Amino acid sequence: MIQDPAQSTPYGTLPPASPLANRKPVSLPRLLEMRARGEKITMLTAYDATFAAVADAAGVECILIGDSLGMVCQGLPSTVGVSLETMRYHTESVSRGIRRAQGTAWLIADMPFGTYQESKEQALRNAVVLSQAGAHMVKVEGGGWTAETVRFLVERGIPVCAHLGLTPQTVHALGGYRVQGKSDASADTLRRHAQELQDAGASMLVLEMVPHALAASVTQSLPYCATIGIGAGKDTAGQVLVLHDMLGVNLGKMPKFVRNFMADGGSIRGAMEAYVAAVKNGSFPDNALHAW
Ligand code: KIV
């Protein structure tokens, strides 16, 4: 039962009810409403039950079970080696944690490399595995050819988040973790792919490491799709960061666009709350750090 405000009991004083108490589960219509109203959407990655529950309690609306877990949990050199079984395991763990904590977050699971490229039927089979593990939405990387797959999944009741710009699963083809969409031609291609993905039914689109002006113009042109930026400036509908990066526990080189929120927050829950506040009030990210 929610106690409100702080109350004395035979067992001591209960804290006042969290302002987050009695929250409704985050839904796709609600996220698209936020996008339409201009309220920033917050997303963090999480890979286990406890961190997911803490992020949820800190007010993070969307939790991404990202295949970045290959690097941060498994010690792999890239996301290329992450398997469907690993994604299923972590998705189930996050989903259980959210349920146990009576959380409300919208859960998005990455479809790993090699699990959707072969055919739309293969994509559906594997998206079902992640949905049954607790994902509300699946994420696929790439433009052009993915639109047909996105349409196939959406028509069959599986919401899809697309991912353009730096797509880590194709790091070898891209020649490294580089900014994308810098030339006029590549920016035009990215804009066209974004439009095709929205038309196919993608209701979210991660834009990773693209110039902020390009991310802003894509966001403007997609009224039915919530753009989520990472290294793409502040003018997207929302933001995402890799949990370990924003807590300052990255094993490699910290990307330039990341802020260490532990410094602001003082604790893991505090860091997540500081992140939510900074995204909502527009103080993170700083476009000056995205002048690619
Ligand atoms: O895997 C992941 O964590 C991601 C984010 C970087 C967007 O795709």
The per-residue DSSP string of 75-87 comes to --SSSTT--HHHH
User: Relative to the CA of 67, which ligand 1 atom is closest?
Assistant: 1
Q: What pLDDT score does 111 carry? A: 98
Whether the predicted pLDDT of 120 surpasses 50: yes
Take residue 120 and report the two structure tokens written for it.
């739309």
Asked if residue 141 has its Cβ within 6 Å of ligand 1, the reply is no
In the chain, % of residues over pLDDT 90: 87
State the pLDDT at residue 3.
42
| Kind plus residue range of the DSSP H or E element containing 9 | strand 7-9
- What residues contact residue 92 under an 8 Å CB cut-off, 6+ apart? 133, 134
Which residue among 230, 239, 257 is best mutated to probe the pocket of ligand 1, counting the most ligand atoms within 8 A of its Cβ? Answer: 230
Q: Is 209 in the pocket of ligand 1 (CB under 6 A)?
A: no
CA separation for the pair 262, 183 (Å, rounded): 36
Q: Whose CA is nearest to atom 2 of ligand 1?
A: 66
Active site residues: 208
For every residue of 208-250, DSSP letters joined together read ES--HHHHHHHHHH-TTSEEEEESS-S-SSEEEE-HHHHTT--
Ligand 1, residue 43: give the atom nearest the CA.
Answer: 7
| Cα(239)–Cα(16) distance, integer angstroms | 30
pLDDT of residue 274: 97
Task: Give rounded-to-5 percent helix, strand, coil for the chain.
Answer: 40, 15, 40
| Beta carbon of 242 within 6 Å of any ligand 1 atom | yes
CA distance 283 to 292: 19
Q: pTM higher than 0.75, yes or no?
A: yes
Ligand 1 close to Cβ of residue 68 (< 6 A): yes
* Ligand 1 atom nearest to 66, measured from its CA: 1
Tokens in use for 16? 């006042």
At 205-246, the pLDDT tens digits run 999 999 999 999 999 999 999 999 999 999 999 999 999 999
